[in-house]
Amino acid sequence: MNNERKILIVDDDTSILRSYQKFLESEGYRVFVARDGREGFIAVEKEHPDLILLDINMPVKTGLELLEDLKRTFDKLPLTIMMTAYGDLDAAVRAMNLGAYDFLTKPVGLEKLCFTVRRALETISLAEKAAYFIDQDETPYRDTIVGRDALMVDIYKTISSLNGNRATVLVYGESGTGKEMVARAIHENTSPKEPFVAINCAAVPSNLIESELMGHVKGAFTGAVASQTGKLEAVRGGTLVLDEISEMPLEMQTKLLRVIQEKKFYPVGSTEQKLFNGRIVAITNKNLTELIETGRFRQDLFYRLNVISIKVPPLRDHLSDLKMLVVHLIKKANFVEKTSIESITQEALDFLGSYSWPGNIRELENAILNASVNAKDKVLTRDSFAFLVPGGVANTAQTCTEAPKFEDFSHGELLTLHEFEKRYIEHVLKKLNWHKGRTAEVLGITRPTLDKRIEEYGLTKND
Ligand SMILES: Nc1ncnc2c1ncn2[C@@H]1O[C@H](COP(=O)(O)OP(=O)(O)OP(=O)(O)O)[C@@H](O)[C@H]1O
Ligand SMILES: [Mg+2]
């Protein structure tokens, strides 16, 4: 057990550093050392120690200054024991006021040191016992929508109102918020026995999208070697999902509008009319109103699609669901990746709650998966999420209002894709404090690609 605990000693007296380090290592702890407050701060960021033994009088940065920095940067101060010179009670009291756990008066005997360290670390064990056990919630894993926040409950109400009609639904929201999940839930609640058919308008080449949707007869165009049933027909009375509807070519938008109005269509090259009986659920993470203004989306189609609209909120707006989502996603990791995580500490949950989640639930899912696969035992701790940058993207009121809303990209001026890409990459880099690994992950590109773009666009940290 001891060897999992990390202790950081910060003291400018090398002989003290060495003797405490040797002694605590012999007790089975992992020990790191730093010679002043500045080195100490770097070590805390890097190693996330469970406990800090902190001298007060040091050059460069004192123990009290380090405490203040830590308090400002991290939501929760690591367990800290101050080591004060005899007679410096005043500084000790100030340290306790700043949140230090205890203080020892120098010179500190090794036995006293050991006792104090052990007792302090026991408080962490107690906190960990209060952690959430995945089994406390006995329902087995099911790939379904989770969340009880009022914003989610509104969505469920809208979905249940769809029963018994075929109204077209527009589902919109930022990337990774769960729009596809909502589309599936609509299907499962309204026409579960009928087909669920999806098409991603951004992924199908524009010259093929018509035949994908309407189908075609043999010989209708070069390459049409056999007839093919279109998705509008294949869906029968089920749900047809048009993902990334903003990317549908204008010409196809016109044709789709007609299908929605007339409930009839002709496969490419055919004179035989077919009926459309399904429900269309269109999905977008773009602001369609903005695209209408710039002539890239048909207003009449928008009105037809927007009969019922569902806004899927960004995760930062329904953080009350975080714990439930975390438990669900751990079960999912256990199920899909065969990991065997049994619990998550309160400290880890607090940390996840302080993060702003620019990539929303998809990012949370990836973080849990990553942490679960790499966990050394069956518990996820704060350390398991060391790859998420603390502080910089914490969910403070300020970062919350600055968080990327998808409406934010609607500048009055019209941008080239090139300029838009540049500004967006810059935006994410700033948001994540130039943490390139995380930026690449959020943007869904590789690290070398990100480096190439940074160079190409001449992006620098101080811009
Ligand atoms: N409310 C939720 N409960 C449980 N899992 C969720 C929820 N919302 C999203 N997820 C999970 O998060 C991931 C992303 O969700 P989904 O693909 O539906 O997002 P999206 O909004 O369509 O994203 P994008 O805009 O990038 O296409 C999926 O693995 C999904 O299972
Ligand atoms: Mg999606």
CATH of the domain at 202: 3.40.50.300
Give the global pTM. Answer: 0.64
Q: How far apart are the first and last CA of the chain?
A: 47
pLDDT tens-place string over residues 307-348: 999 999 999 999 999 999 999 999 999 999 999 999 999 889
Residue 200 CB–ligand 1 contact under 6 Å: no
Q: Are residues 271 and 289 in the same domain?
A: yes
CATH of the domain at 382: 1.10.8.60
Please give the Cα distance from 124 to 76 (Å, whole number): 13
Please give the Cα distance from 354 to 33 (Å, whole number): 28
Cβ-in-10-Å burial (0-12, 13-18, 19+) of 308 comes to middle
- 3-class DSSP state for residue 51? strand
Ligand nearest, relative to CA of residue 182? 1
pLDDT band at 126 (very low <50, low <70, confident <90, very high): low
pLDDT band at 153 (very low <50, low <70, confident <90, very high): confident
pLDDT tens-place string over residues 35-76: 999 999 999 999 999 999 999 988 888 999 999 999 888 767
Q: Are residues 217 and 274 in the same domain?
A: yes
Residue 441 CB–ligand 1 contact under 6 Å: no
Residue 176 CB–ligand 1 contact under 6 Å: yes
Ligand 1 atom at shortest distance from the alpha carbon of 179: 21
CA of 75 relative to ligand 2 center, distance in Å: 33
Please say which residue of 105, 132, 159 terminates a domain. Answer: 132
For residue 418, the model assigns a pLDDT of 76
Ligand nearest, relative to CA of residue 173? 1
Of the candidates 11, 14, 33, 20, the residue with the CA atom closest to the CA atom of residue 114? 20
Mean pLDDT of 213-229: 91
Residue 175 CB–ligand 1 contact under 6 Å: yes
CA of 424 relative to ligand 2 center, distance in Å: 19
Residue nearest to atom 13 of ligand 1 (CA): 362
pLDDT tens-place string over residues 234-248: 999 999 999 999 999
Q: Are residues 118 and 50 in the same domain?
A: yes
Q: Is residue 142 part of a domain?
A: no
pLDDT band at 271 (very low <50, low <70, confident <90, very high): very high
Residue nearest to atom 25 of ligand 1 (CA): 175
Residue 147 CB–ligand 1 contact under 6 Å: yes
Residue 362 CB–ligand 1 contact under 6 Å: yes
Largest CA distance in the chain: 98
Q: Which amino acid is at 300?
A: D
Q: Which amino acid is at 231?
A: K
Please say which residue of 77, 103, 132 terminates a domain. Answer: 132
Q: Is residue 71 part of a domain?
A: yes
Alpha helix (H) residue ranges in 74-177: 89-98, 110-129, 150-161
Domain count, the chain: 4
For residue 392, the model assigns a pLDDT of 39
Ligand 1 atom at shortest distance from the alpha carbon of 285: 25
CATH of the domain at 19: 3.40.50.2300
Mean pLDDT of 120-128: 71
CA of 179 relative to ligand 2 center, distance in Å: 6
- Among 119-133, 143-157, 241-255, 377-391, which stretch is predicted with the lowest mean pLDDT? 119-133
Q: Are residues 378 and 298 in the same domain?
A: no
Q: Which amino acid is at 106?
A: K
Ligand nearest, relative to CA of residue 357? 1
For residue 80, the model assigns a pLDDT of 93
CATH of the domain at 446: 1.10.10.60
Residue 406 CB–ligand 1 contact under 6 Å: no
pLDDT band at 399 (very low <50, low <70, confident <90, very high): very low
Are 268 and 214 in contact by the 8 Å Cβ rule? The answer is yes
Q: Are residues 389 and 433 in the same domain?
A: no
The residue whose CB lies within 8 Å of the most ligand 1 atoms, and thus the one to mutate among 159, 336, 362, is 362
**Residues around ligand 2, an ion, CB closer than 5 A:** 180
Mean residue pLDDT of the chain comes to 87
Q: Is the pLDDT reported for residue 396 higher than 90?
A: no
CA of 330 relative to ligand 1 center, distance in Å: 15
Q: Are residues 114 and 198 in the same domain?
A: no
Q: Are residues 214 and 330 in the same domain?
A: no
Q: Are residues 213 and 355 in the same domain?
A: no
* Owning domain of residue 438: 406-457
Q: Is residue 350 part of a domain?
A: yes
Q: Are residues 435 and 325 in the same domain?
A: no
6: β partners: 30
Strand pairing report for 279-284 and 169-172 = parallel
Radius of gyration of the chain (CA): 28
Please say which residue of 311, 345, 376 terminates a domain. Answer: 311
Q: Is residue 220 part of a domain?
A: yes
Are 218 and 227 in contact by the 8 Å Cβ rule? The answer is yes
Are 315 and 361 in contact by the 8 Å Cβ rule? The answer is yes
Q: Is residue 138 part of a domain?
A: no
Q: Is residue 268 part of a domain?
A: yes
Q: Are residues 271 and 359 in the same domain?
A: no
Please give the Cα distance from 349 to 123 (Å, whole number): 17
Q: Are residues 303 and 185 in the same domain?
A: yes
Q: Are residues 156 and 112 in the same domain?
A: no
Q: Is the pLDDT reported for residue 360 higher than 70?
A: yes
Q: Is residue 382 part of a domain?
A: yes
The residue whose CB lies within 8 Å of the most ligand 1 atoms, and thus the one to mutate among 144, 181, 245, 287, is 181
pLDDT tens-place string over residues 404-424: 333 344 445 566 777 778 888
Q: Is residue 144 part of a domain?
A: no
